[in-house]
Amino acid sequence: MDEKKRISIERWFIKAENDLETATRALKYEPRITDTACFHAQQVAEKALKAFLVFMDYEVEKTHDIVKLINACVEKDASFEGFRETLKGLTRYAIVERYPDDWREILLDEAQSAVKKAEECMVFVKGKIKW
């Protein structure tokens, strides 16, 4: 792998790890900030999937749509199909529920589930990238 590509992948993971830390902290301390945790969970999955696409030399589109990113990943590796159902609900945290017009209270268990799914995605993707 060339140096430029390696650095790009590392940067995607650094950003994803920072989002995971933010999401985790938002749920750890009172008051728990569930909407922020969910937004950052979506960001973890998005950035991890984009890291994989960079690894596969795929042109990474500027999108928050997790299903669209999963579709692109599946084109390169069919094992990503298993994450379609798990991750598809995360997109709304970046698009719909991020703004006050569509505000709703996100319960703690929903937020914890979103963060767990995002973390599982990142672990899976890291396992796919061969340094």
Looking up residue 89, the CATH number of its domain turns out to be 1.20.120.330
What percent of the chain has pLDDT above 90? 85
Q: What is the pLDDT of residues 40-79, one digit of tens each?
A: 999 999 999 999 999 999 988 899 999 999 999 999 999 9
pLDDT of residue 20: 98
CA distance 47 to 35: 19
| Cβ proximity of 66 and 49 under 8 Å | yes
pTM of this structure = 0.94
User: If phi over 0 gives left and psi between -120 and 50 gives alpha, with beta otherwise, what is residue 41?
Assistant: alpha
Q: What is the pLDDT of residues 24-41, one digit of tens each?
A: 999 999 999 999 999 999
Strand runs (DSSP E) across 1-131, as ranges?
none
What's the total number of domains in the chain? 1
Q: Taking residues 117-123, what's their average pLDDT?
A: 97
Using alpha carbons, list the distances in angstroms from residue 69 to 49, 116, 124, 125: 7, 19, 15, 13
Average pLDDT, the chain: 94
pLDDT of residue 63: 92
Q: Give the torsion sign (CA, 46, 48, 49, 55).
A: positive
Domain span at residue 114 reads: 3-128
| Cβ proximity of 9 and 129 under 8 Å | yes
**How does DSSP classify residue 99?**
S
CB atoms within 10 A of CB 34: 22
Q: What is the pLDDT of residues 88-107, one digit of tens each?
A: 899 999 877 666 777 788 99
